[in-house]
């Protein structure tokens, strides 16, 4: 009786051991398969999506939120929308459609443009280690054509590598400057630009007060009494005064 019990117990222990070994074998096989699948996963070459980025339309209408000077190098950094700055200052993600442009000068001469653009779904073809969120990058010549050599062309991958280290700052190198930018400056700049852009060639000044510029009578019929440069300045001073009075009211 005892001998039969011992034999039965031994058989059960043997079955349990075999079952345990089978489970280990199955788990190991699954792990190896997953590793092999990861190794066989093909990703696009970094920078292969740079062709999606076009030179930004109306660049000059963008907002210069940062400038850098390093020796003979000067850089202006544009962003294409006020919404992008507001998002950053509110602790939010930069919206899809954000375009940031670096305008680079050397010894006072325009040398290149570097553009980074964010669009929903961009960058998904890259490996997780190389991906820079949803940003793609492109380099342009001073003529605003795609740069085929130098920092452009095959070398464009260096832009991705550099910005990949800035994940904490949404892959931007100038996040702090955007956070600190004073949005009220935009209204001042736009106002001055609009007034300075008013054509005054057909305007004539018939009377200039000795007391104040606010009493200048501007019309298009009287004879011209002052030179073009002085006339333009007088008219713009009047328009600026009128704008400020309206703004304050």
Q: What pLDDT was estimated at residue 41? A: 72
pLDDT in single tens digits along all 249 residues of the chain: 555 555 554 544 444 444 555 554 445 555 545 454 445 579 999 999 999 999 999 999 999 999 999 999 999 999 999 999 999 999 999 999 999 999 999 999 999 999 999 999 999 999 999 999 999 999 999 999 999 999 999 999 999 999 999 999 999 999 999 999 999 877 555 444 444 555 555 555 554 444 444 444 544 444 445 566 666 667 666 666 664 554 444
Give the relative orientation of helices 184-196 and 228-248 as an angle to the nearest 10 degrees.
Answer: 140
Q: What pLDDT was estimated at residue 185? A: 73
Q: What pLDDT was estimated at residue 228? A: 62
Residue of 113, 189, 188, 187 whose CA lies nearest to 145: 113
Q: What is the pTM of this model?
A: 0.62
Domain boundaries, the chain: 1-41, 50-180, 185-248
Q: Can you tell me the distance from the alpha carbon of 46 to that of 190, in angstroms, rounded to the nearest whole number?
A: 39
Q: Can you tell me the distance from the alpha carbon of 34 to that of 58, in angstroms, rounded to the nearest whole number?
A: 49
Q: What pLDDT was estimated at residue 9? A: 46
Q: Can you tell me the distance from the alpha carbon of 45 to that of 125, in angstroms, rounded to the nearest whole number?
A: 8
Given a contact cutoff of 8 angstroms between Cβ atoms, the answer to whether 62 and 79 are in contact is yes
Q: Can you tell me the distance from the alpha carbon of 159 to that of 50, in angstroms, rounded to the nearest whole number?
A: 10
């Amino acid at each position: 009786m005892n001998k039969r019990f011992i034999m039965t117990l031994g058989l059960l222990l043997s079955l349990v051991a075999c079952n345990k070994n089978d489970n280990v074998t199955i788990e190991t096989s699954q792990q190896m398969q997953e590793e092999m699948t990861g190794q066989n996963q093909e990703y696009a070459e970094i920078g292969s999506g740079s062709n999606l980025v076009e030179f930004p339309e109306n660049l000059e209408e963008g907002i210069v939120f940062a400038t850098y000077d390093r020796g003979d190098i000067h850089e202006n950094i544009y962003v294409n929308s006020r919404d992008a700055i507001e998002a950053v200052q509110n602790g939010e993600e930069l919206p899809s459609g954000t375009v940031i442009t670096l305008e680079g000068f050397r010894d006072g001469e325009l040398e290149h443009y570097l553009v980074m653009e964010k669009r929903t779904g961009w960058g998904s073809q890259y490996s997780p280690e190389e991906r820079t969120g949803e940003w793609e990058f492109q380099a342009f010549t001073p003529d605003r054509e795609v740069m085929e050599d130098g920092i452009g062309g095959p070398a464009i991958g260096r832009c991705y590598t550099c910005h990949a280290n800035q994940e904490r700052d949404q892959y931007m190198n100038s996040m702090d400057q955007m956070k600190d930018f004073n949005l009220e400056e935009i209204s001042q700049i736009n106002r001055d630009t609009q007034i300075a852009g008013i054509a005054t060639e057909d305007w004539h000044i018939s009377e200039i007060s000795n007391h104040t510029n606010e009493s200048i009578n501007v019309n298009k019929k009287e004879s011209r009494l002052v030179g073009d440069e002085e006339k333009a300045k007088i008219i713009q001073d009047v328009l600026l005064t009128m704008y400020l009075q309206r703004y304050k009211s």
